[in-house]
Chains A and B, each alone.
Chain A
Amino acid sequence: MFKIALRNIFRNKRRSILTGLSIAVAVMIAIYMWSLVEGIMDNLFDNTIRMTSGHVRVLNTNYVKREKMLPLEANIQDYKPVEKIAAANPDVTLAAGRIKFGVLLDYKGNNKPVFGTGIIPGLEGKISRLDQKIVSGRMIEPGKEEINIGANLANDLGLKVGDTLTVVTQTAYGSLGAMNLKIVGVFSFGVVSIDKTTFFMPLSKAQQLLDLEDAVTEIFVFVKDMDKAPKVAQEIQNNLNQIYPDQYVTRTWRDVGFYWAYMRLAKGTYAVIYFLVLFLASFTILNTMYMAVLERTKEIGMMKALGLKDGQVMGVILLEATLVGGIASFIGAIWGSGVAYYLTVVGIDFTATFETMGNFNFPISSIYRAIFSWGIIFFGFCMGILFSIMAAIPPSLRASKMEPTEALREI
């Protein structure tokens, strides 16, 4: 049967190609668009996780309620033991204390709100990857009065590597803290909201500036499997409650605002759209194949005359559809993954557009990149074949029901 199907396909190449073309296009579209959308969303989450939420965060119970104010007094005192407890969890890959604080920089007579993060430079490679984002100068070193500021911020303030920035802010206990910080490096994450409003300084110096001896405002926790984050968060909180009852809570990356929901909604919407596109393509196949079946009455008559039963005839047609669909999907998949790959490497550059926009708060990279995922490619491929087969059912049924005499009469 397989051989018959194969021969049928190659006998009328033009027909086969036309049948498969629409599936190839549909699969290509589905794959490349999906890769792009997925890439953009991944980027959004990645940035949020690396800069704001970690996979899990340990926070003072009072901090959570007023988090928008970045209340320094609601901190994690004597944080090292707390950090250890979090790190002890078997699914945790990293637990690092951090200080997040807000500063009003005096800029052109107005107050410019900026966010500072006190970090342990050595660990940043696994967290924000600041070390890879330095565009001029170098990353800060622990224990020094140094600072890394975003490229856009440096631009806005008219500062560069070597200049000094005086940071004045309110400490955890209402005093005025101030420090002269030398700009040793400028970074660019390619994300406008980060490059415009944030800076990094060594944790120990942040503690000194803000009167937070041995304290941090949050502990970033990274886990092996981010979908397990809620479970890990609960475990850590339970462990903490045993020693520090009700003092600390944990939050996962999914708790950050409404991004999670919004992204899932967008993904769902696009999934529906892909299916609609594939549906149209499969309708095309159905139409084409039906037409083809009608034209192949003699062929089918021949097959039946040779002794093929109705079911087998149907099987042959379906097999043809599978093969054609398979090849078409394969081509479409290659094509789509090619486009996706290009978008992964080069991406779509919106830097110019984003920079002119004023208040851009979405942590999305200015260059839209797709992700290259075998999973997506395989799924697109399978969908193509599936839809091809489904589309072939009506025509194959029609073919199987043809009378041999009817067919032979056509001659």
Chain B
Amino acid sequence: MTNNKLQITNNTKITIFKFKYLIFGIVWSLVLGSWNFASAITGNEIINKVDANMTYGTGRFETTMVINVRDQVRTKKMVSWAEGRNKSFAEFTYPARDKGVKYLKIDDNMWMYLPSVDKIIKIAGHMLRQSMMGSDFSYEDALESNKLREKYSIKLIGEETASITEKVEGEEKKVLYPCYVLDLTAKVKDVTYWRRKIWVHKGTFVPVKEELFAKSGKKLKVMTLSRIQKYGKRYYPLYMTMENLLRKDSLTEMFVDKAQFDVRLPAGIFTQRNLRK
């Protein structure tokens, strides 16, 4: 905890300040007989920090996606650019079968380009529910993760150390992350997942683990982010997994092979025209 405090410049003072308050708060509430944990840092505030961390001006990434379904392993590679949280462009480069397939996302809209037929397809309606390239991510998942504050009421319910399985150079190891545990419950009706549980790493404010639930409370998917690397002021996870609990032995991994921030974006990259190029 101490190490991280030194690295976080802006937030440190506020954190210490808030901790003083916390002690006051504990005493005060003990006296009054009510325990209000939220007077320290609130769920919303944590999410704000998560967002702040994940928002960058521009970025370019080279990623390897590994899809594990039962006993099959499929590997794909892609290059992507992003501007803020709202614009992104991705192009698959491997295998030959998928090479040239491109995706464009602007705000709530997503398009896909298939080189074999030279066609741009808008992903809308029922298509959104389909999985992306056979992975455990659905198009919906990609679109909704920005809207947490709009759609959910966020509560900090405790602290826990999460054990995340990380893969580096083919080797697996378990890494411990002390986290804030947030419970998100839908406050509007049109959400995809009624409830989410997020473990936010206290030091880096990277949500290292997220569980997605159906309305009945059944856990549907588990996502993890780890191998956190510091880039300037930000922390970026280089290893991501998504597990679809309803499909047996189904796991998708994303390895970020290269990440660059504040890069110069190619001109006209977030356009449909660029899909065709």
A-to-B contact residues, CB < 8 Å: 73, 106, 109-111, 166, 168, 170-171, 173-180, 211
Contact = CB atoms under 8 A, between A and B. Distances in A.
A178 B72 contact: no
Interface in B225-255: none
A178 B134 contact: no
Contact of B72 (A73, A106, A175, A211): A73
A170 B114 CA distance: 13
B119 A170 contact: no
A174 B135 contact: yes
Contacts of A170: 134
B277 interface: no
Contacts of B67: 174
B74 interface: yes
Interface string B119-151: 101000111000101110000000000000000
* Residue picked from B116, B118, B131, most chain A C-beta under 10 Å: B116
A175 B126 contact: no
Contacts of B74: 173-175
* Residue picked from A106, A166, A178, A211, most chain B C-beta under 10 Å: A178
B114 A176 contact: yes
Interface string B69-90: 1001010100000000000000
B117 A176 contact: no
A166 B126 contact: no
B134 A168 contact: no
Contact of B117 (A106, A174, A180): A180
Contacts of B127: 106
B150 to A, nearest CB: 26
A179 B133 contact: no
Nearest to B69: A174
Given A109-B125, A211-B97, A174 B116 contact: no
B98 interface: yes
B101 interface: yes
B240 to A, nearest CB: 18
A251 B135 CA distance: 33
Contact of B126 (A110, A171, A211): A110
B125 A168 contact: no
A178 B114 contact: yes
Interface residues of B, number: 22
A176 B101 CA distance: 9
Nearest to B112: A176
Contacts of B135: 174
Contacts of A176: 98, 101, 112, 114, 133
Interface of B: 67, 69, 72, 74, 76, 97-98, 101, 112, 114, 116-119, 121, 125-127, 131, 133-135
B117 A178 contact: yes
Main DSSP-derived SS at the B contact region? mixed
A175 B119 contact: no
Given A73-B72, A111-B126, A175 B117 contact: no
A260 to B, nearest CB: 34
B134 A173 contact: yes
Given A111-B126, A175-B97, 17 more contacts: A106-B127, A109-B125, A110-B126, A166-B117, A166-B119, A168-B114, A168-B119, A173-B72, A173-B134, A174-B74, A174-B135, A175-B74, A176-B98, A177-B116, A178-B117, A179-B117, A211-B97
Nearest to A110: B126
A106 B120 CA distance: 13
Given A73-B72, A111-B126, A211-B97, A175 B133 contact: yes
Contacts of A179: 116-117
B121 A168 contact: yes
13 contacts: A166-B119, A171-B97, A173-B97, A174-B74, A174-B133, A174-B135, A175-B74, A175-B98, A175-B133, A176-B112, A176-B133, A178-B117, A180-B119
Nearest to A181: B117
B23 to A, nearest CB: 53
A274 B59 CA distance: 81
A174 B101 CA distance: 14
B116 A175 contact: no
A166 B121 CA distance: 11
A66 to B, nearest CB: 12
A109 B122 CA distance: 11
A179 B118 CA distance: 9
Nearest to A164: B117
A226 B221 CA distance: 50
Contacts of B133: 174-176
A182 to B, nearest CB: 12
Contacts of B112: 176
Closest 3 CB pairs of A and B: A174-B134, A178-B114, A178-B117
Contacts of B134: 170, 173-175
A152 to B, nearest CB: 23
A33 B69 CA distance: 55
* Residue picked from A73, A166, A211, most chain B C-beta under 10 Å: A166
Contacts of B119: 166, 168, 178, 180
A65 to B, nearest CB: 14
A112 B250 CA distance: 28
A69 to B, nearest CB: 13
Nearest to B101: A176
B99 to A, nearest CB: 11
A170 B131 CA distance: 10
A180 B114 CA distance: 11
Contacts of B125: 109-110
A110 B116 CA distance: 24
B116 A178 contact: yes
